[in-house]
Structure 1
Amino acid sequence: MYELLILSALMVHDRTGYKLSKILEGNLEPRRQISNGVMYPMLHKLEKAGYITLETKQINGRAQKLAKITDAGLARFEDLMHTPIAMDAKRESNFHFKFRGLGRETVGFQRDVLHAYREATDSDIAVYHKVIAHLQSILTNPDRQIDVGWSLRGLQLALNVAQTRLDWVNDQLHDLDGLADDAHFTTVPEIMKEYEAKDFE
């Protein structure tokens, strides 16, 4: 799904490989880095498929490759946005990549993606509860407490994270209440006002 994020970023304006790598890093886990050895093969693959063009330009006195999305790339972006996300280990990252492009989609589609995310998160929570119940039953044996005590604490963390995700998606769906399915919703969330007043350097 890196492909989706790259195409989404290029729909705003043309970008260098360096800028695109920083956008990818900003949508992954903190400290996850995208090297040139990863970035440029992806760009060349997209270029070969006809989704972008790469042009060498002088930027700040340096020759850099500038990526630009094509009409085929725009169509590919829509295809990827409307492709269901697989429920695998990459699911969370792929949903985050898709969230980035939701501003270009209708409210009806935004709702569909959010409902899919809520369903996946509900499924996670159900699994965590089942595993926690099983481990708690083992605690009746004092000899097993050393094995399961920290396992339960780790599951508690995972459950809290999943609940936070569930609260978030419910908030987003609430913001869409009353809007027509064919409308567009791109309002910046209130929390961003807090960041404007803070210095994060």
Structure 2
Amino acid sequence: MYELFVLGELMTGEKHGYILQEILKRTGGPGRQISSGTLYPLLSRLVESGLIHLRLEEESEGGRPRKIYEITEVGRDRFQQLMEQPLESTTDTDRLVHFKMVYFQYVAKNVRLACLEQYLNHLQTAWTYVDKFESQLKRLKPSPDMQRIQLLRVFEHRKHVGAADMEWVSKEIERIMKEE
């Protein structure tokens, strides 16, 4: 997922590592911070594999040289491959889709639609799972009552959020389908 992020960010233009890390921190939200120990080894691997190019830029006040990264043609091809990869239902599916959506401007309409349709299917599957579990819980009425009641409230919340997500994705699919 971070490979997609780095390549996607470099599609917008060259950047230095600090800026990449700051953008990813803000994109990931307060609970998902990327460390330098994760980002910089990834950048090194991407350079070694020829997906990005590293250029050193001298600091004006005698500091260390700044490392500037830019995407290569091989990196652009890899970015396209990552954007076209089918989604897998994991705990990070939502986050991956959000990363992909940020870079939709760099891929064809059919790639955007495939991603959103797969995501809609993922959301529908999750909603159906919760709905079935909720029905079982209502039918079987396990004890203790307070815990069952609270679990039903959680399910109600998950179904509400899931329905809102499915509605939004459906509208986004419709919007993209109308594009020229």
AA in 2 matched with 1:4: L
Which residues in structure 2 correspond to 1:96-175 (within 5 Å)? 96-139=98-141, 143-175=143-175
Q: Which among 76, 80, 105 is matched to residue 78 of structure 2?
A: 76
Which residue of structure 1 aligns with residue 88 of structure 2? 86
Partner of 1:42: 42
Q: 1:108: how far off? A: 2.4
2:178 counterpart SS class: coil
Residues 146/73 of structure 1: CA separation in 2 closer, same or farther (3 Å cut): same
Shift of 1:78: 0.9
Give SS of 1:27's match.
Answer: helix
Asked if 1:51 corresponds to 2:13, the answer is: no
Q: Give the letter aligned to residue 28 of structure 1.
A: G
Greater fraction helix:
2
Gaps of 5+ in 2: none
Moved more, 23-32 or 41-50: 23-32
- Larger CA deviation: 46-55 vs 104-113: 104-113
Which residue of structure 1 aligns with residue 22 of structure 2? 22
Residues 87, 119 of structure 2: 8 Å contact kept: no
What is the aligned length? 178
Cα separation, partners in 2 of 1:86 and 1:92, compared to 1, 3 Å: same
Given that 2:15 and 2:68 are in contact with CA atoms closer than 8 Å, whether structure 1 keeps it comes out as yes
Letter in 2 for 1:85: L
Residue identity matched to 1:153: R
Whichever residue aligns with residue 53 of structure 2, its letter is: T
Q: TM-score, normalised by structure 1?
A: 0.80
Gaps of 5+ in 1: 181-201
| 1:100–1:41 CA distance, 2 compared to 1 (3 A) | same
Decide whether the 8 Å contact of 1:22 with 1:34 is kept in 2.
Answer: no
In structure 1, the residue matched to 2:179 is 179
Alignment RMSD: 1.9
